[in-house]
Amino acid sequence: MSSELAMESLDVVAPAGSKTKERFDYKGHFIKGVIVENPVFKMLLALCPVLGVTATLINGVGMGVIVIFALTVANAMVAIVSKFTPDEVRIPVFITIIATLITAIEMLVQAFLPNLFAALGIFLPLVVTNCILLGRAEAFAAKNKFLPSVVDGLSFGLGFALAVSLLSFIRELIGTGALNFFDLFYLRLFPQQFAIGLFVQPLGAFIALGLIIGVMFSFRLSKEEQEKKAATAQKTAKLAKSVA
């Protein structure tokens, strides 16, 4: 499990004459899970479902919602039971919690959303082995209180959901020329003969993910370069002022 998962946003406040207190930065941590440390685009975690179920927008959104719910509830449960769980058996306990939760979700999806259940296929029960769930449970929920653990699960789950939704949106749009979302709306943006069918194939998932990561990396490099230039200009101005 990646050691970066254990890095959390905790602000330590130590007033004079009092014991050290830890104040959790809810807003900062939420932004971290969704954008800064996005589990897909930044950490490249859980790529099997990301690449396997994002051929259509329906499948991507469905998997994203499932992971949001599973990760939030799993973190909450782990935060509760970790206080009573010996270190020697904590991993098996966490896996049992996650497996039980995913089994219940799988049964609900099969009962109420059979089309989504058929589309997700083996990737739905394989959410049990999703490294995001076990990673956040071990690295964060087991070491923190209930509410921060819920926020952690919600933020990283939402980050995953946004990533798979964006990827599925791009793949379906380019691959078919249209978008279809649970029969609620159907929108064709260009004729199907101009669509690139490769994007709804497995190879298209790698291409689309690579393009998205490349664009984001370029924006990040550009931003860092601008910040570097601004810092250099500020130092030069201070130096010129001190000389004058």
Residue range 89-143, pLDDT digits in tens: 999 999 999 999 999 999 999 999 888 888 888 888 888 878 899 999 999 999 9
DSSP H helices in the chain: 26-31, 47-52, 57-81, 90-112, 114-120, 131-139, 146-176, 202-243
- Counting residues of the chain whose pLDDT is more than 90, the rounded percentage is 56
Per-residue confidence (pLDDT) for residue 22, from 0 to 100: 67
164-182 pLDDT, tens digit per residue, is 999 999 999 999 999 887 6
* Distance (Å, whole) CA 49 – CA 153: 18
Would the pLDDT of 243 be above 80? no
Total-model pTM = 0.84
- For residue 179, the SS3 value is strand
* Contact status, residue 148 vs residue 14, Cβ threshold 8 Å: no
* Distance (Å, whole) CA 77 – CA 137: 9
